[in-house]
Structure 1
Amino acid sequence: MGTTQLTYGSRSTGSGRPRLHGLIGLAFGLCLALMPGAAMSNPSRPANEFAVATDARIEQAGEVVRLTMALSRPVEVSASVMAAPDRVIIDLPSVNFQVQPSAARKSAGFVSAFRFGMFTPDKSRIILDLAQPALVTRAEVRSVRGGFGELVVELKRASRAEFQAASVRAAPQAPEDPASQAAKPQGETRQLVVIDPGHGGIDPGAVVASIAEKSVVLAFGLALKGQLEASGRYRVLMTRDDDTFVPLGERVRIARAAGADLFISIHADSLTQSQDVRGATIYTGSERATDAESARLAAKENQADAVAGLDATEDMQDVAGILMDLAKRETRTFSSLFARNLVEKLGGSVRLHKVPMRSAGFRVLTAPDVPSVLIELGYMSSPKDAELLNSLSWRLQAVAAVEAAVNGFFERGQAVGKAAANQR
């Protein structure tokens, strides 16, 4: 992590929003030091050089549950277990998974499901969800004829005490310093917008009819990045620009370290119990959710780290006191301003949820000095929304509306900032 520079004063960005650095930055830096991290999506070599995985099968034979996966060549493998929730973690070098998503939804014995994907630019991960405690009795990649490999993982049911004794915490990954990738050039006056496509890599998000949320929101995020950059008014940084997992705390750190003026997280949820619910929703951060549905969604999204095999314990510490509270209060005002802009602009172009503006305790919306919103583009569980989310024409229309909201936010923010300055 980079060194925090102390500046006893305030800096005004192009939006007119005072940025309380100095003591606030130092206090929040203590919080960030506790966060698990992962490097930004920046693969060290092209995907066509990765081993290719195909033909995954999971089956039960007596007391043993066995996962097998065909590989284009042998690779190294390691295995561990983790509690709360109970799961088995299989780590491999970078692998190009060409496995049907439907295969991962199959269960066998005490394994309820499994998932796979990139975890960091140099590591892939397979996670098996356990309905009962179990231990890994075998985890190897054996060589087969023709230079191919076969991953074999065998599990056997264990007692709770045995499982707890074997469980380990996933070691935090050392991230690259995103500030070095987005340092503001001298003389640069354009605002910096951070776009955060939700989920990614090992965390697919909602999956409906083999379409993963992580792919839908990445396509939208890349289109929005292109539109904003084409205007010439903004610099844009993505928390991920490919199918790589980024922990929740790291997404916040990326925005703060880069000195972002706006943070936009993109999602597309699924409601299995109700296919008639549809439309876009805009969320801002709050300790108390506006309603039960918002609380449920925030709780679900906040489990992303656990889905990817990281320790999901709360990583934010209340060490900033009054200065942090002041920064949060001001930032939430600007977050609400942007949220209202989004509702106004999106409402003229795409269908909105019947209650389009809400708030809840999303962990990605916790930066105290960066206005942040989370956009649920629609519900993948709704056949109509799912059709639109995968429509290029709808995407371009929605992207244009978000761009208009960004423009309006910075224009109104300048006016608000000037008015506040005149009252001092």
Structure 2
Amino acid sequence: MGDDMKKVIPFIMLFALCSLMYKPVVSVSSSQSLAKKVIVLDPGHGGLDNGASVGKVNEDELNLKICYALKSELESRGATVYLTRTDDQDMTRRNYNYSKQDDMYLRVLKIDEYKPDLFLSIHLNSSSSGAWGSQVFYYRKSQEGERLAKCIHDSMKPVTGTKKPTSSCGFYVLRATQSTGVLVECGFLSNANERGQLKSAKYHKKLAVAISDGIENYQKSLSSGG
């Protein structure tokens, strides 16, 4: 073995030893905070049922856009997300003889089909007065629904500025499903200022982040037993 080779070997051995001792620091990403959670989003209305409308602004179209923004945000945090509808059709997918009863029945079946950890039905409000602000509804007999509603409501308040409280209800989509769920009214289309926000993709993103934060807080409250 030559002298030059004898000088190189110690450096090779030192490099190999350092490589074995070095352990890369792997940061825990908050993007996986909802990993293994299955969430269903239900964009309200669709098809022949536009929901609330002001001029050419229809609730069903905005509900779907908000749900897609929310889906993207939840998936970035590790959740598996399904939508009850993915286009401008109600659940019956008929262009004639619209039946609200049939539509709601099929929504419930679709939500239960996925066996989600939780679900959210997304809507926009309307009023003849100057009402404004988001509001979250939960089934009156569901304690977990009430807890989820409060967590989402508290996270949305800084974004929507709402002064409305969470509210119990008997909505079919909440009482007939097997999973914990809430109905989120993201704002009032009838309010000109709020309507301008609700048409904005940037605002959809803000809503998505706030709602996702609320879901995270709900999951943390379950883990802590609070």
- C-alpha separation in 1, matches of 2:165 and 2:56: 27
% identical equivalent positions:
29
Note closer, same or farther for the CA distance 1:241–1:368 as it changes in structure 2 (3 Å cut).
closer
1:348 to partner: Cα distance: 2.0
1:260 to partner: Cα distance: 0.9
Deviations 1:6-29 (A, max 9, x none): xxxxxxxxxxxxxxxxxxxxxxxx
Q: For 1:264, which of 108, 115, 120 is the aligned residue?
A: 120
Return the letter of the residue paired with 1:414: S
- C-alpha separation in 1, matches of 2:160 and 2:126: 18
Q: Which residue of 1 aligns with 2:11?
A: none
Higher helix share: 2
CA contact (8 A) 2:133 2:164 kept: no
Q: Which residue of 2 aligns with 1:335?
A: 145
Question: Would you say 1:198 and 2:198 are equivalent positions?
Answer: no
Larger radius of gyration: 2
- What secondary structure is seen at the aligned counterpart in 2 of 1:199? coil
Higher strand share: 1
Structure 1 unmatched runs, 5+: 1-188, 287-328, 420-424
1:255 to partner: Cα distance: 1.7
CA contact (8 A) 1:223 1:399 kept: yes
- What secondary structure is seen at the aligned counterpart in 2 of 1:355? coil
Return the letter of the residue paired with 1:251: R
1:349 to partner: Cα distance: 2.0
1:401 to partner: Cα distance: 0.3
Question: Would you say 1:375 and 2:190 are equivalent positions?
Answer: no
1:190 to partner: Cα distance: 0.6
- C-alpha separation in 2, matches of 1:368 and 1:258: 11
1:265 to partner: Cα distance: 0.3
Q: Which residue of 2 aligns with 1:208?
A: 54
Q: For 1:410, which of 200, 219, 225 is the aligned residue?
A: 219
- What secondary structure is seen at the aligned counterpart in 1 of 2:182? strand
- C-alpha separation in 1, matches of 2:125 and 2:132: 10
Question: Would you say 1:248 and 2:58 are equivalent positions?
Answer: no
CA contact (8 A) 1:280 1:356 kept: no
Question: Would you say 1:391 and 2:200 are equivalent positions?
Answer: yes
CA contact (8 A) 1:252 1:366 kept: no
Q: For 2:157, which of 330, 347, 351 is the aligned residue?
A: 347
Q: Which residue of 1 aligns with 2:175?
A: 366
Structure 2 unmatched runs, 5+: 1-34, 92-102
Deviations 1:26-77 (A, max 9, x none): xxxxxxxxxxxxxxxxxxxxxxxxxxxxxxxxxxxxxxxxxxxxxxxxxxxx
Q: Which residue of 2 aligns with 1:95?
A: none
CA contact (8 A) 2:134 2:164 kept: no
- C-alpha separation in 2, matches of 1:213 and 1:342: 21
The alignment's TM-score, normalised by the length of structure 2, stands at 0.76
1:368 to partner: Cα distance: 5.2
1:408 to partner: Cα distance: 1.2
Q: Which residue of 1 aligns with 2:136?
A: 282
Deviations 1:115-141 (A, max 9, x none): xxxxxxxxxxxxxxxxxxxxxxxxxxx
CA contact (8 A) 2:37 2:117 kept: yes
Count of aligned pairs: 181
Deviations 1:72-121 (A, max 9, x none): xxxxxxxxxxxxxxxxxxxxxxxxxxxxxxxxxxxxxxxxxxxxxxxxxx
Deviations 1:162-194 (A, max 9, x none): xxxxxxxxxxxxxxxxxxxxxxxxxxx711100
Alignment of 1:4-153 (within 5 A): none
Return the letter of the residue paired with 1:343: H
Return the letter of the residue paired with 2:203: W
Question: Would you say 1:235 and 2:89 are equivalent positions?
Answer: no
- C-alpha separation in 2, matches of 1:349 and 1:339: 16
